[in-house]
Amino acid sequence: MTPIVNERLNDEKSEHKEDVMVQILQLDVRGMPQEWITPEDAATYYATDSVAWTVGSVIHTLHGGTNAVTGLQSRIDVHAIVATTGASRVNLFDAVPSLSNPKLFKRDRMTCAYCGGYFDDRQLTREHIVPTAQGGIDDWLNVVAACKACNGRKACRTPKQARMTLLFAPYAPSVFEGFLLAGRNIRGDVHDWLASRVGSHSRWSHQSTRVSQHKYLQ
Ligand SMILES: [Zn+2]
């Protein structure tokens, strides 16, 4: 092949050294996020002509065999965001992202909802605002990130009973935010695409949460 291709390959190698796990955001044809997929999964969609449209730059190139007729090596350029045809797995109106500690801590920006301290995920806990022992459910709207000390101090009490104030309110992330919370090493352009679609209540949007209006603080 031409030197241009070799140069390109070298570029890719150096680019991917830092970002080992390249994630492609797969959308349905309407733009609803479906899944984080690997470049190889994405290539399958390209190869089967199932890519409806793409967003962002080419972030990965896969090389296949040499075409017997043309003598050229086949290559598939994979974009950062790929919208595919076919059935949707995630629907805008019925999908609430599943609750997990990593996503919860990320939603709350690694910040304890009571003392406001910044912690890593080993020091944070899933704090039930209304304790499960008092009928609180394990749901996005009843949980916040809290450091171990604050969680221990609050114990099986509501914030009011414990005389502890929430510094910010919980909320259920949208589908778009769920993907933002679940992704790893999200590229800047993909992050921006998702962040521009989260609701105004989100801590990932520019508008801040209005804590004073939250029901748990009444
Ligand atoms: Zn704390």
Q: Total structural domains in the chain?
A: 2
**Alpha carbon of 121 to ligand 1 centroid (Å):** 13
Percent of the chain scored above 90 by pLDDT?
Answer: 55
Question: Are 162 and 54 part of one and the same domain?
Answer: no
Question: Which residue segment(s) compose the domain that 19 sits in?
Answer: 3-84
What was the pLDDT predicted at 92? 65
Annotate 47-90 with DSSP letters as a single string.
HTT-EEEEEEEEEEEEEEEE-TTT-PEEEEEEEEEEEE-S--SS
Whether pTM exceeds 0.85: no
Spatial separation of the C-alpha atoms in residues 79 and 73, rounded to whole Å: 19
Could you tell me if 129 and 74 lie in one domain? no
Q: Are 174 and 152 in contact (CB under 8 A)?
A: no
- 24-47: average pLDDT: 92
In a domain, 63, yes or no: yes
pLDDT tens per residue, range 110-153: 999 999 999 999 999 999 999 999 999 999 999 999 999 999 99
- Residue 141 in any domain: the answer is yes
Sign of CA dihedral 132, 138, 140, 143: positive
Q: How close is the Cα of 151 to the center of ligand 1, in Å?
A: 7
Q: 37 with 73, same domain?
A: yes
Distance 115 CA to ligand 1 centre (A): 4
Residue 77 in domain: yes
53 pairs with which residues across the strands?
83
My answer on whether 105 and 65 are in the same domain is no
Looking at the structure, tell me whether residues 73 and 157 fall in a common domain.
Answer: no
176 and 213, same domain (yes or no): yes
Q: Output the CA 154–ligand 1 centroid distance in Å.
A: 10
